[in-house]
Amino acid sequence: MSHISNKKIDLAISNVTKQYIYQNQLFTAVDNVSLEVPKGSFCSILGPSGCGKTTLLRMIAGFIQPDQGDILIDGKSMLQVAPNVRPVNMIFQHLALFPMMTVGENVAYGLERRSVKRVEIKQKVADMLRRVGLPDASDKRIDQLSGGQKQRVAIARSLILDPTLLLLDEPLGALDLKLREHMKLELKQLQAEIGTTFIYITHDQSEALVMSDFVGVMNKGKFEQLGSPQDLYYRPQTAFVAGFVGNSNQLSGQVANVNDKFLEIKVGENTVIRSANVQKMNAGVSAALFIRPENIAMSMRPPTDMVSDNQLEGNIGTILFDGANSSVEVKIINTELSVKVAMPHTGLSTAFQPGAQVYLSFNAEHVHAFAIDVTQHGKH
Ligand SMILES: Nc1ncnc2c1ncn2[C@@H]1O[C@H](COP(=O)(O)OP(=O)(O)O)[C@@H](O)[C@H]1O
Ligand SMILES: [Mg+2]
């Protein structure tokens, strides 16, 4: 975030906590969370269902009050400010457009409630519809629009009030896969053009990676990591982030040796995997290892050099064909281990068949290792 930290901060959340009472038990849904969002950014809050995302967003909107901490928008504390006068607008999963009104009437609604003059409303609505790419849709009924167009009307209706923040709670959740892929790009473009700060909540890591300038990964009411999509993907700081963002092979083992270049982690009976020692672990520690399928090179021939930190030999098991995202399962010889490896695209695609003998190599920097808290059971 440092590269944009000279910008004005639109939203500052500081040490915010929210507890619910559920079946006579106190439950901490948002646990001492802090976050700063610079003006004009696309910020996503990413985490599994139930981790506290909606609770956090509703506190920003003012529908619920934090038990502790403060929320500042434009540098001003919102604790005593009612939801309808906060400079924010919220878009829900089901958009909540008025089905009996035209597109233009939907977009005009907020301005009419503020008793803005008719001519001014008319001009602002036309301008807003143009900006979201629906210049001729003003007289259409909502049910004459596609899913993507409805999305844009919902955004136009919110942005016409010129909020500091647009809050979006899983707005693509109800759309089918193809449309969701399309809307990801569209939302990102729209945000970049309009420049309003977006706070976007999702449980879908791909949505967060594609659209965001930065992402807060949330788990059990806390942020595990705040960073750019590249930070989360290439430099996960916790096992949760490594497992939740992108696809990875997950293995477990025990640190056998530590030297100044890497860790040697014993995985199973007779396999040692070398990993960068980012987390500064010591010998004897139980570790979770994450290796991405695309970071493992696969060849039909034994490697002729020794440049890779890790070299394994195996046989192809199942082939998981998925076009450009195809991968194969490789069973490592003399072990119980198997790893998923991205299918190379530049060679002969028929070379890699079930049963074929293959040689795998990957570097220590591509193995993300984290100490496992062995006192914590029942995870994963
Ligand atoms: N009004 C409430 N009363 C009690 N528990 C709640 C209430 N709202 C949410 N929770 C609980 O708080 C946790 C976080 O919920 P929520 O913020 O909706 O998560 P998310 O949006 O990440 O799925 C969940 O375990 C949920 O069951
Ligand atoms: Mg939610």
The response to whether residue 202 sits with its C-beta less than 6 Å from ligand 1 reads no
Q: Which atom of ligand 1 is nearest to the CA of 55?
A: 17
Ligand 2 centre from 255 Cα, in Å?
38
Atom of ligand 1 nearest to the CA of 47: 22
Q: How far apart are CA 228 and CA 214, in angstroms?
A: 4
213 and 75 both lie in a single domain: yes
Ligand 1 probe mutation, 55, 65, 90, most atoms within 8 A of CB: 55
Q: Hey, what are 361's tokens?
A: 């190599």
pLDDT at 104: 95
Residue 255 sits in the same domain as residue 168: no
Same domain? 168 vs 26:
yes
- Report pLDDT digits (tens) over 287-325: 999 999 999 999 998 877 767 899 999 999 999 988 888
pLDDT at 379: 42
Q: Whose CA is nearest to atom 12 of ligand 1?
A: 29
Distance in Å, CA 313 to ligand 1 centroid: 47
**Last-in-domain residue among 207, 227, 242:** 242
**Pseudo-torsion of CA 22, 23, 24, 28, nearest 10°?**
-30
Residues 267 and 194 in one domain: no
Where a domain ends, among 242, 265, 288? 242
- What is this structure's pTM? 0.89
Q: Which of these, 218, 211, 207, lies nearest to 55 by C-alpha position?
A: 218
Q: Do 233 and 253 fall within a single domain? A: no
Residues 171, 281, single domain; the answer is no
Q: Domain of 267: which CATH number?
A: 2.40.50.100
66 C-alpha to center of ligand 1: Å? 14
Distance (Å, whole) CA 178 – CA 207: 13
**229 and 270 both lie in a single domain:** no
pLDDT at 1: 45
Nearest CA to ligand 1 atom 1: 20
- Which of 242, 272, 305 is at the close of a domain? 242
Overall number of domains in the chain? 2
- Assigned token pair, 72: 């500042």
Residue nearest to ligand 1 atom 3, measured at CA: 20
Residues 151 and 292 in one domain: no
> Does 377 fall in a domain?
no
pLDDT of residue 244: 96
User: Distance (Å, rounded) from C-alpha 78 to C-alpha 8?
Assistant: 17
> 379 in a domain, yes or no?
no
Within a domain: residue 315? yes
List the CATH number of the domain containing 233.
3.40.50.300
380 found inside a domain: no
Does residue 376 form part of some domain? Answer: no
Same domain, residue pair 125 and 170: yes
Residue 233 lies in a domain: yes
Compute, in angstroms, the gap from residue 30 CA to the centroid of ligand 1. 9
**Residues 294, 279 share a domain:** yes
Q: Cα dihedral sign for 143, 149, 155, 161? A: negative
pLDDT at residue 268, as a whole number: 87
Give the Å distance between the CA of 163 and the centre of ligand 2: 22
Please indicate whether residue 52, judged by its CB atom, sits closer than 6 Å to ligand 1. yes
Range of the domain at 51: 2-242
pLDDT of residue 378: 46
Q: Which ligand is nearest to the CA of 26?
A: 1
Asked whether 53 lines ligand 1 (CB < 6 A), one says yes
What is the 3 state secondary structure string of the chain?
A: CHHHCCCCEEEEEEEEEEEEEECCEEEEEEEEEEEEEECCCEEEEECCCCCCHHHHHHHHHCCCCCCEEEEEECCEECCCCCHHHCCEEEECCCCCCCCCCEHHHHHHHHHHHCCCCHHHHHHHHHHHHHHCCCCCCCCCEHHHCCHHHHHHHHHHHHHCCCCCEEEEECCCCCCCHHHHHHHHHHHHHHHHHHCCEEEEEECCHHHHHHHCCEEEEEECCEEEEEECHHHHHHCCCCHHHHHHCCCCEEEEEEEEEECCCCEEEEECCCEEEEECCCCCCCCCCEEEEEECHHHCEEECCCCCCCCCCEEEEEEEEEEECCHHHCEEEEEECCCCCEEEEECCCCCCCCCCCCCCEEEEEECHHHEEEEECCCCCCCCC
Q: Please tell me whether residues 190 and 283 are part of one structural domain.
A: no
User: 269 and 180 share a domain?
Assistant: no
pLDDT in tens, the chain (380 residues): 444 556 799 999 999 999 999 899 999 999 999 999 999 999 999 999 999 999 999 999 999 999 999 999 999 999 999 999 999 999 887 778 898 899 999 999 989 988 889 999 999 999 999 988 899 999 999 999 988 888 889 999 999 998 999 999 998 887 788 888 888 888 899 899 889 999 999 999 999 999 999 999 999 999 999 999 999 999 999 999 999 999 999 999 999 999 988 999 999 888 999 999 988 999 999 999 999 999 999 999 887 776 789 999 999 999 998 888 899 999 999 999 999 999 987 766 677 899 999 999 999 999 999 999 766 554 44
Decide if 111 is inside a domain. yes
Residue 124 lies in a domain: yes
